[in-house]
Amino acid sequence: MRVWLLAAAFFSPGALGQDVSPKPDPAESARKAEAAVPAAPGEGNREEEQRRRVALNLLGAADTAGGESRRNENIQFNLVDNNALKELNVRLGVTATLVREFEPQRGYFGAEFGNPPSAPPHAAFAGGKDFHGELRWAHLNSVTTARTFFQVGDVKPARENDAGFRLGGRAWRDAWWQTNGSLRLIRGQVNGNVLVPRADERTPLAADPAVRAMVQRFLNAYPLEAPNRTDIDPRALNTNAPQNIDHRMGGARLDLKGGARNTVALVYDFTSQDVDAFQLVAGQNPDTHIKNHSARATWTRTLDARDVMEATAGFDRTGTLLVPEPNAVGPMVLIGGLETLGPQAIIPLDRALNTYRGAGAWRRQGGARSWLAGFEVARRQMNGAETDAHRGFFSFWNDFGRDAITNLRLGTPSQHLISIGDIYREFRNWEAAAYAGGRLRWGTHTDLTWGLRWQAATRPVEVRGRNVIPYDGDWNNWAPSLGLARRLGAWGVLRAAGAVQFGEIFPVTYSQVRFSPPGNLKIAVPAPDLLQPLREGADRAKPNIYALDRELATPYSFQYNATWERELGVLGRLEAGYVGSRSHKLLIMWYRNRGQPAPGVPLTTATINDRRPDPAIADLRWVLNGSRGYYDAGRLTWVLPRWRGVSFEAAYWWSKAMDLGSSYTNTAYDADSRLSRSQWEFETHRDMKGLSDFDQPHAFLWRGAWRTPGRGALLRNWDLTGVMLFKQGTPFSVSAGSDAPGFGNVDGNGGDRPHLLDPSILGRTIGDPDTSRERLPRSAFAFQRPGEMRGSLGRNTFRRGRIANVNASLGRTWTFDSTRRVMLRAESVNLTNTPQFAPPGFELANPNFGAITNTLNEGRTFRFLLQMGW
């Protein structure tokens, strides 16, 4: 989780039965810092909110307490798989996190980057309270919203209302109930820059009337307005489009006591989100519908003063539906130098993921030693229809001696992709884990924690036999962990921890075998006819093959950290730590069987299929454990619990993240596979080794709180909280922008990079629209020459603009008696209205190369919150 407070230590001293931390405990400071610009009250704890946000790909959320600003929604991504996590990593980067304790019953794969660990398998008993409740309402309006950096004209009318409740009390003598619900309605206006044809480019040039009609249909998808930001690009249009988001959450629980030894917790949660997506260009984004149901039943029995047994049964269901907007042109159309006509090739998508769970645990707590042991088992079902260019796909590159826009107007695409076949599948598999761990107090100065977790996953099976997964079940995943805390007297406390953590083979990774023959054909045609791209027969139309490696296994990482902390008296506490990881067997897709130079065969787009080593197929898209990740970070934290009414924490961390083409979030599917695609099919590691997409060398975070000490009734007891986040930008790559002769290697795949002519520009931050073209000049690069298979420029060698964000809130709580209270708060996100710029145009062949045309965050916003509790 992105909670930087946890960077101080690797385990919770209180859980050991002995506090080896220096005194005093800064719990009050932590609570105040955590309250700085929080999410709306009543929506659960921060870790759970972050976990839900990335698991369900929810829009409209922002971790403002962690320094995040509201994201600019015009940077679209499909709300499926782990895309929300990847978007956060690229936009915000990661947070160096020293895990307090590697608990064996939870998974920590990726936790060193600030991601929350897996949820505890058992629901804790929460009874014992009399009737209580909470009502809240928050409102955000465009009247108090600032314009984004590139916006032309006034802010369009928009509003956001967020209402919720939480109630609970005693149902009968030994039973307690709770219920909660919320409704968030966002009626927004998305502002953004899109690249559209100029007025003199709005008419087709094709001679065939049918081709002209189809080209005109593509051109008509662009807004009729002429470009109005020609200062940044001759084709840049700043425009607005409405986007509506309905976000619903609800839940209920019943806690029961059965005598002095038994408790039962019954928990149900529901989340849904409907997105009527913005369309700056007709049909560019899909409409999305997400529904999640989660249920748990936990029985806890206290056996004696030391031993406790837990048993849990659970069910989770997530349904995801992405459908094209009615005005979409049909196929996906990619045009160099213009906005892509969407939606993406994986749309439509209709998926249901069901997971049945069971878990048990035995815990013993006593004296200097404690231990636990347990197991988990899950049955996963993935049902649905998913697509891969079944609507069709055309790409128009700089090719045939003409620019991409001219090729569009002539109706001469460089490539056509189309999939044909049955795409509905039902996959099933089992997952299991068993674990044991404990704590040992060694003398008066040392505490030791240990754990061992075993994980297993069976080979997925398609119940109708439409596909066979070639790899075996993964049964040998052993994950030990060890932690140490040592009191050094007046010199403070030294802590260290290390663990092996396992990830997963994502369902979307193995389920893409549905796109291979014989059940499905994905056909690639170079230089096709626009109207009848398949008419020239099987000699030019070849199928792509999706293949899973027979030795495919679960990715894993070695994680380790150490920290030293010391009390500084009235100056608070200082913490210095190091965290690192080495990740292995990361998923990646390698594109094989590409077109290669062949004697006597012209090196043109039309001959790509003729130059493939296996002439019977197009690409062989091979999923394997082909990447590794490297991460190291140092972190310095200063905690001031209380000084004259002020409490704050400040943290600085330096880090470096590298990989061999893909990181821990890569699914080896769709966009992930293209981002990790090498320039050619040989020497992949040499070509792709570079900085990870989320690498940020320097980061600083400050959070603080102050309560006004005024004596007057009007001025006293106001709480002012703030968060400041400063980070370097994440890296990006420069690409050629075309695979055609004179630009790329003509192997049938993108990802070509140019040659570097001026090494002095390497590592530059391109973060100012006024200087971006100067700092990233075309003259520093050269296209590949015919016959060359790769450019000399490396991957991720430049950086986008920095992050400099300030969030703040001002509020007061009025307490009328021991139970009734009213709270009023005003919150500002991006208080200084500082833009976070998107990367510049990075395709050398396109006219917008080097131009920054977008921001990743919204302008300054204010939200007002009223809450009543009793």
Confidence bin at 45 (pLDDT 50/70/90): confident
Handedness of CA 762, 768, 774, 777 (dihedral sign): positive
E strand or H helix that includes residue 365:
strand 349-366
Mean pLDDT of the 379-383 span:
98
Residue 6 has pLDDT above 80, yes or no: no
pLDDT of residue 211: 98
Write out the DSSP string of 420-489: EE--EEEEEEEEEEEEEEEEEEETTTEEEEEEEEEEEEPPPEETTSS----SPPEEEEEEEEEEEEEE-G
Average pLDDT, the chain: 93
How far apart are the C-alpha atoms of 340 and 329, rounded to whole Å?
11
Largest Cα span, the chain = 91
CATH number, residue 210: 2.40.170.20
Over residues 798-818, the pLDDT tens digits come to 999 999 999 999 999 999 988
**And the tokens for 601?**
């065969």
Contact by Cβ (8 Å): 148, 853? no
Predicted confidence (pLDDT) at residue 42 exceeds the cutoff of 60? no
Instruction: Give the model's confidence band at 241: pLDDT under 50 very low, under 70 low, under 90 confident, else very high.
Output: very high
Q: Nearest to residue 573, comparing CAs of 26, 19, 14?
A: 26
**Stretch 669-694: mean pLDDT:** 96
Report the distance separating Cα 448 and Cα 440, nearest Å.
5
Asked if omega into 759 is within 30° of 0 (cis), the reply is: no
Beta partners for residue 362, in sequence order: 309, 373
Q: What residues form DSSP beta bridges with 257?
A: 263
Average pLDDT, integer, range 452-462: 98
Mapping DSSP to helix (H, G, I), strand (E, B) and coil, where does residue 525 land?
A: strand
For 404, list phi and psi in degrees, rounded to 5: -65, -40
For 269, the token pair is 């949660």
Q: Is the CB of residue 626 less than 8 Å from the CB of residue 684?
A: yes
Which residue from 322, 506, 358 is spatially nearest to 427, judged by alpha carbons?
506
In tens, the pLDDT along 497-534 reads 999 999 999 999 999 999 999 999 999 999 999 999 99
Place of tokens 């603080």: 704
The answer to which of 609-623, 680-694, 700-714 has the lowest mean pLDDT is: 700-714
Residues 6+ apart with CB under 8 A from 362: 307, 308, 309, 310, 372, 373, 374
Distance CA 845, CA 589 (A): 26
Q: Where are the beta strands (DSSP E) in 459-600?
A: 461-462, 474-487, 493-502, 520-526, 542-548, 556-567, 573-592
Residue 329 β-bridge partners: none
pLDDT (mean) for 842-846: 96
pLDDT given at position 715: 82
User: What are the pLDDT digits (tens) for 66-90?
Assistant: 999 999 999 889 999 999 999 999 9
| 844 DSSP assignment | T
143 by Cβ neighbours in 10 Å (0-12 / 13-18 / 19+) ranks as: exposed
Q: What is the pLDDT of residue 537?
A: 63
70's tokens: 């509201």
Place of tokens 């075993």: 454
**258: domain range?**
4-869
Average pLDDT over residues 435-460: 96
Element (DSSP H or E) covering residue 406? helix 404-410
**CB-based burial label for 323 (10 Å; 0-12, 13-18, 19+):** middle
Per-residue confidence (pLDDT) for residue 538, from 0 to 100: 58
Tens digit of each residue's pLDDT (9 = 90 or more) over 731-768: 999 999 999 999 999 999 999 999 999 999 999 999 99
- Burial per residue of 731-764, b for 16 or more beta-carbon CB atoms within 10 angstroms, e otherwise: bbbbbbbbbbbebbbbbbbbbbbbbbeeeebeee
pLDDT tens digits, 101-146: 999 999 999 999 999 999 999 999 998 889 999 999 999 999 999 9
CB 733 within 8 A of CB 797: yes
**Least confident residue range of 13-27, 355-369, 668-682, 724-738:** 13-27
Q: What are 480's two structure tokens? A: 């030990």
Q: How many domains does the chain have?
A: 1
CB distance 587 to 666 below 8 Å: yes
Q: Which two tokens stand for residue 153?
A: 């004209």
- Our CA dihedral for 589, 590, 591, 596, rounded to 10 degrees, sits at 170
pLDDT tens-place string over residues 172-213: 999 999 999 999 999 999 999 999 999 999 999 999 999 999
For residue range 578-591, what is the model confidence (pLDDT) as tens digits?
A: 999 999 999 999 99
